[in-house]
Structure 1
Amino acid sequence: MSTRDFRITVRGVFDGLSDAQRAELLARAAEHDVLQAAFTTEGHLSYDIAARTAFAFRFADTGEAEEDILTAAARAEAAAETWLTERGYGYKNLRSQAEDLSLAALGKRRRREAARGA
């Protein structure tokens, strides 16, 4: 059986942040910049707290079957909740979106490469 690569995005909104928490997030904003966003196994948090309270975690995971994407999404949501809770950040509207890269449509360049390889 082959390994499938999954990308999971967990989105939410910070809720009830204290002035100190907001200042802490602002101070660390450069390391959580949206332009630096990447899908990683440990999860990458991005936000722009100066503009709005929304955030996104990006996770990379793997599985062997198509159904494993549900487990991967649940793990990602749990990891995001843990990260937020451990730091005392309130949040709401947590939701996830997962993509199985083996089922993603091929772009023009990848279609050409696949045609050459066949």
Structure 2
Amino acid sequence: MGTQHTYRVIVRGAWEGLTEAGRAALLAAVDEHDGLAAIRFTEEGSLAYDRALRRFTYRFVVVSDAADGEEMAEVIAEDRARAALAALGHGHGELKCSATDMDTMKINDKGRRKR
């Protein structure tokens, strides 16, 4: 196993084929998934959506080999999102991912420097 990097991955998708029961369940929990609490990155994923029930995002933290790069982190996060959505019993369309390697991210600290 090589050097491990931490990735933040956003998985985006659209709801498809929601049943009335599924729509009702999502709407009953919408306040927990629409707002600041829903934009956290976690290993199990943070699901965010709004009352319109058109689109959703999942935010994941993925730790994997740096040599595998962002592509592998995206695959892992997409698999986690598919499993979580299947466990909830909700249909979805194509998923799109974007990953950021937190270990190589540069932080602009211009505003923090003392003058």
> Normalising by structure 1, what TM-score?
0.81
Identity of aligned residues (%): 36
Given that 1:66 and 1:100 are in contact with CA atoms closer than 8 Å, whether structure 2 keeps it comes out as no
**1:4 corresponds to:** 5
Among candidates 23, 46, 49, match of residue 47 of structure 1: 49
* Change beyond 3 A, Cα 1:101–1:91: same
CA gap 1:21/1:39 in 2 versus in 1, 3 angstroms: same
How big is the shift at 1:2? 5.1
Note the residue ranges of structure 2 that are not aligned, 5 or more in a row: none
The amino acid across from 1:22 in the alignment is R
Aligned partners of 2:110, 2:32: CA distance in 1, in Å? 32
Matched, 1:86 2:87: yes
Residue identity opposite 1:106 in structure 2: I
Whole-angstrom CA distance in 1 between matches of 2:70 and 2:58 = 16
Tell me the TM-score normalized by structure 2.
0.83
Q: Is the 8 A contact 2:8 2:102 kept in 1?
A: yes
What stretches of structure 1 of length at least 5 have no aligned partner? 114-118
Where do residues 7-46 of structure 1 align in structure 2 (5 Å cutoff)?
Answer: 7-36=8-37, 37-46=39-48
**RMSD in angstroms over aligned alpha carbons?**
2.3
- Looking at structure 2, the residues matched to 111 and 3 of structure 1 have their Cα atoms a distance apart, in angstroms, of 29
Amino acid at match of 2:95: L
2:60 is aligned with 1:59:
yes
Whether the aligned pair in 2 keeps the contact of 1:4 and 1:63 (CA below 8 Å) is yes
SS, match of residue 93 in structure 1: coil
Structure 1 window deviating more from structure 2 (62-71 vs 15-24): it is: 62-71
Q: CA deviation at 1:93?
A: 2.1
